[in-house]
Amino acid sequence: MQLHIYDTLQRRVVPLTTERPDEVRMYTCGPTVYRPVHLGNLRSYLLADWLRRTLLYFGNAVTAVKNVTDVGHMRQDVVDRGEDKVIAAALAEGKTPKEIAEFYEVAFHEDERRLGILPAAHFPRATDHVPEMIAIIEKLVANGLAYEIDGAVYFAVKRFPGYGKLSGNVGEALKQGVRGELDPAKRDPVDFALWKKAEPGRALAWPSPWGAGFPGWHIECSAMSTKYLGERFDLHTGGVDNIFPHHEDEIAQSEGAFGHPSVRHWVHGQHLLADGVKMAKSARNTMTVDEMIELGIDPLAFRYQALLTHYRTRMHFSLGALRQAAEALDHLRQRVRRWSQLPEGDAANDTLRVGWLELFRRELANDLNLPAALGWLHRCAVDPDISDAARLDVFLEADKVLGLDLAAVASEHAMAPREVLASFEEHLAARATRDYQRADGLRGTVDGYRVEDQTADRALVSRADRRVAGRSRRTISSAKELPDHRNAPEARLWSVAIVTRDYPADLARCLAGVLRFLPRDAEVLVLDSGSGAEVQERLARLAAQDDRVHAFFADRELGEGAARNALLRVARGRLVLELDCSVELTGDLFARLERALADPAVGLAGPWGLRTTDLKHFDEVMDGETDAMQGYCAAARREVLLEIGGFDERYRFYRNLDIAVSLAIREKKYRVVALGAECARRHEHRIWESLSDDERLKRSRRNFDRMYKRFHGRAVLVGGPGARGPSD
């Protein structure tokens, strides 16, 4: 396939043509190694990497060169003052320039590796190529395009007719572009330095025909690109800030020296912005790969994030967006694991495989439209007609360009150490024999790996370091911060809603019971209402072990009514089971509840009912129609819970909220039925147990009064017209 790309010089999208058939030689302006590269620099290197991978994918041989500027890459005004970033950094850190450059060069390679950027064939250093630079400068002097004044050499811009063709900076615009540079030695302020005289005692200086000195900012790229790629090569890339003066001057130097253009195509990537301005060290808005890792974010999350913005569009960086990208990548990796470890469907649908890849390739060919290419892959991921094996194939093939290292994810199971696989098999076997305690115990023995149950008899292995840590630990301080899906259609059969606070062992027991009997088409929503960090961490780990569990965290106790409503906002199940952590499922309660709630006259069902004649004394009922359902375990159709307006958020404590909800449902003329405790067991209710008699009374009293006032005298009870007054 033929890549079409926006050529900065031609100012339009053109077919990328090459000097030699099926061979691309490309040069990318690399880092100045006096500080760590930031994500802005890396966005530019990613562009070069995606171009290279696309060209390879389209059947070309590619030779990539990226220079390392270890001296001399200086803004013109800095050159004019004879300063140098590397030297300045060395002085500041009490090191030699060579030590500084070596340190950051190693760090740069490590950063590129962590971002999955293919290493260039050559990383030439500027300091190793001073003779080549001098040779070009001599040619320019010989060609009458450069002049020497007192040990310095300048390029005579006005003598090179093509000057300005890349940037459009000619005439007045050019004068504007170079304003602020004050080098009295220049004949014309628009001229630029090719060689500067070394002041006495300068750390980095080389002998030259003009005396001891050092090179100007741009000459290294003319010298090193042509040395490694020839006097005519195909592609030159960089960030848009390189267009002027760096690349404009590079064109003048190379063309001026060789007498013909050197570069066939110029491609420039737009900037990465942070807080609305270009990410740059001087703006103090940078982020580095090390900083990402310190925050627990996989470096490849930035690669994924950068895929989402076309290279000619400014990209806005924020930590929030980066974290979202990390989660999206995690999601994609889980899909890849599922397709590779638990494939469904026949492998033989090659036409679909070819079709999806064709759509992907076409977007690449169209000015490297990676966001659109990724869009097709997302559609392929949910195509019901293609088999998982073929789907995996499409993604692994596409990933040769994307570079997200999905092949490593696909082989996690195959590459896992023998002990891990043995534990994994034992885990599956324990589950098969319903020895869940043992199964859960085995989970903890697989160091560095996670075992995630998918269905009753299947599980996934994943490398823990490739999973998003402590998934969705964003905390909320109000129910309204969770997405509101109340008007969205039902998306699954069951939502299990669990509100928890402290007592993580109870939650673990409750969750284990739920997951044991959870129907296929179900989600488990757990909201931690203000536990300490350690308990929330534990919940996050529990949730991360199972795809079906979604954890939400509140930074304070929301109150029982508000917390239940928070989960009701996100629940997408047709049926909702409200569960307390003191309850453990011991049988398939879901099937029984589903049967009971299939009757449209039934609004609420659960194991433990309550009956009353006066709203003051309540007797437990285990069977048949009743007045109320105990809130430890009660299920309703979502539409019924929404019909009564959800939970009354004035109930901060759980006591009597269940009665209020039950009676509100009865008020709408639905029946409430008790099913008995065959499939569920009640354990100690820790929160109740933890309170003094005084405290219990105080907290319950307010709720009782509220409930009593609301329903007293109303015809909501099964046994009669209403309650008697509070005085008797």
**Which is nearer to Zn ion, 225 or 703 (by Cβ)?**
225
**Which is nearer to Zn ion, 29 or 621 (by Cβ)?**
29
**Which is nearer to ligand AMP, 29 or 636 (by Cβ)?**
29
Q: How far is the CB of 315 from ligand AMP (least distance, A)?
A: 8
497 binds Zn ion per the rule CB under 5 A: no
Strands of the sheet with 272-274, listed across from one edge = 277-278, 272-274, 315-317
Number of other residues whose CB lies within 10 A of the CB of residue 276 = 8
Q: How far is the CB of 209 from Zn ion (least distance, A)?
A: 24
279 binds ligand AMP per the rule CB under 6 A: yes
Give me the 238-267 binding string for ligand AMP, x by CB under 6 A, dash otherwise.
xx-xx-------------------------
Q: Which does 279 bind (CB under 5 to 8 A by kind): Zn ion, ligand AMP, none?
A: ligand AMP
What single string gives the DSSP state of each residue in 271-319? PEEETTEE--GGGT----HHHHHHTT--THHHHHHHHTS-TTS-EEE-H
Decide if 267 contacts 235 (C-beta within 8 A): yes
Cα(415)–Cα(402) distance, rounded to whole angstroms?
22
Which residues, 6 or more positions from 37, have their beta carbon under 8 angstroms from its beta carbon?
Answer: 31, 45, 107, 108, 111, 288, 289
Q: Which of 56, 203, 280, 421 binds ligand AMP (CB under 6 A)?
A: 280
Q: How far is the CB of 13 from ligand AMP (least distance, A)?
A: 21
Only segment of 28-36, 371-379, 417-425, 563-571 that touches ligand AMP (CB under 6 A): 28-36
Which residue type does 23 have?
E
41 binds ligand AMP per the rule CB under 6 A: yes
40 binds ligand AMP per the rule CB under 6 A: yes
SS3 264: strand
Number of other residues whose CB lies within 10 A of the CB of residue 175 = 13
Q: Which of 29, 549, 597, 664 binds Zn ion (CB under 5 A)?
A: 29
**Of the candidates 585, 594, 671, 562, which has an alpha carbon nearest to the alpha carbon of residue 626?**
671
Decide if 682 contacts 583 (C-beta within 8 A): yes
Q: Which does 239 bind (CB under 5 to 8 A by kind): Zn ion, ligand AMP, none?
A: ligand AMP
272 binds ligand AMP per the rule CB under 6 A: yes
Decide if 543 contacts 511 (C-beta within 8 A): no
Decide if 305 contacts 327 (C-beta within 8 A): no
Only segment of 29-37, 351-359, 610-618, 716-724 that touches Zn ion (CB under 5 A): 29-37
216 binds ligand AMP per the rule CB under 6 A: no
221 binds Zn ion per the rule CB under 5 A: yes
36 binds ligand AMP per the rule CB under 6 A: no
Q: Which of 247, 271, 335, 353 binds ligand AMP (CB under 6 A)?
A: 271
End-to-end, the C-alpha distance of the chain in Å comes to 88
Q: Which does 272 bind (CB under 5 to 8 A by kind): ligand AMP, Zn ion, none?
A: ligand AMP
205 binds Zn ion per the rule CB under 5 A: no
Which residue type does 124 have?
P
Q: How far is the CB of 540 from Zn ion (least distance, A)?
A: 45
Decide if 517 contacts 588 (C-beta within 8 A): yes
For residue 250, what are the CA distances in angstroms to 129, 223, 238, 299, 724? 16, 9, 12, 33, 94
666 binds ligand AMP per the rule CB under 6 A: no
**Which is nearer to ligand AMP, 264 or 271 (by Cβ)?**
271
Q: Which does 44 bind (CB under 5 to 8 A by kind): ligand AMP, Zn ion, none?
A: ligand AMP
Tell me how many degrees the CA angle 204-208-212 measures, rounded to the nearest 5.
45
Q: Where does this chain bind ligand AMP (CB under 6 A)? A: 29, 31-32, 40-41, 43-44, 238-239, 241-242, 271-272, 278-280
